[in-house]
Structure 1
Amino acid sequence: MSTIFTKIINQEIPGHFVYEDKICVVLMDKFPAVPGQTLVIPKKAVDYLFDLDAETYHHLFTIAKKVAQASDMTFNTIRTCLVIEGFEVPHVHLRLYPMTKKESLGQTMLRQQEASDEILALEAAKIKRALEQVEAVSS
């Protein structure tokens, strides 16, 4: 199965990478509802979260936690919310929303709009730097 995420992972189309390892990638969301919104995506294209093998499933959530911690540091959040997606693109993805104010996530999600490549690159660089700090603390 080839999805838009597979094409980004294979660098057939551009994307703003925050993190990559042998199991997953973390990308900036091209259509964020909030600044710093990221996607944690397995490299293997699987449509449904609970069809993932145990190693990939656990790894996605481990990486999501680290990226959430980095987002919290970067965007001075109240908390980072995690939503499991997969209807629009048939490829499992965890969407992280760095929330800076208390409001309904449902209302927040309605505000998504396309972000410029310049903004996405800047936010990706900030999250990467914070992720290095998170990694240093957790090692």
Structure 2
Amino acid sequence: MTIFSKIIAGEIPSYKIAENDKFYAFLDIFPLVEGHTLVVPKVETDKFFDVADEYMSEYLVFAKRIAHAIEKAVPCNRIGVSVVGLEVPHAHMHLIPINSANDMNFANAKLKLSPEEFKKIQDRIIKELR
């Protein structure tokens, strides 16, 4: 069981943004920028392009709604999408508010946010989903 499956199961707390029967979105706890969100399928699949065909279009549609909410909640030019998948063997998509391509550089220092700061970001994004 991956750390993402434990988050989805509620065994590890997260700053949940949205979920449905197939996908779960939550704030990255090591964000590159405020609003950096992970979107994962509930079915464990190691590699992104091994996600079942019948899930792939739904995955993108689920992420699209969240990306629009993040873009409204966090000042940015657009939402960047990254699929790296090296750190956790569970397919996941990063939705990252960006103003330049360098905002998506995973070698950049990660933000250190307090639980209160994460909660405020979470609340702003969820408000935009409604």
- Give the TM-score of the pair, scaled to structure 2: 0.92
Partner of 2:129: 131
Partner of 2:88: 89
Distance of 1:31 and 1:77 partners within structure 2: 19
| Structure 1 segments of 4+ aligned residues over 3 angstroms from their partners | 105-109
Distance of 2:32 and 2:116 partners within structure 1: 17
* 1:76-112: CA deviation from partner (whole Å, max 9, x where unpaired): 210110001311000000001111x334245465121
Superposition pairs for residues 1-139 of structure 1, below 5 Å?
2-99=1-98, 101-107=99-105, 110-132=108-130
* 1:41-84: CA deviation from partner (whole Å, max 9, x where unpaired): 10011001121112221111111111111111111210110001
Distance of 1:91 and 1:110 partners within structure 2: 23
Structure 1 counterpart SS, 2:80: strand
Greater helix share, structure number: 1
State whether residues 33 and 111 of structure 2, in contact with CA within 8 Å, keep that contact through their aligned partners in structure 1.
no
Distance of 1:109 and 1:96 partners within structure 2: 16
Unpaired stretches in structure 1, ≥5 consecutive residues: 133-139
Aligned in 2, Cα 1:46/1:97: closer, same or farther, shift over 3 Å? Answer: same
Question: Which range moved further: 89-98 or 103-112?
Answer: 103-112
Structure 1 residue identity aligned to 2:124: K
Q: Count residues in correspondence.
A: 130
Distance of 1:19 and 1:106 partners within structure 2: 22
Unpaired stretches in structure 2, ≥5 consecutive residues: none
Structure 1 residue identity aligned to 2:93: L
* CA-CA distance at 1:5 after TM superposition: 0.5
Structure 2 counterpart SS, 1:85: coil
| Superposed CA RMSD | 1.5
Structure 1 residue identity aligned to 2:13: P
- Give the TM-score of the pair, scaled to structure 1: 0.86
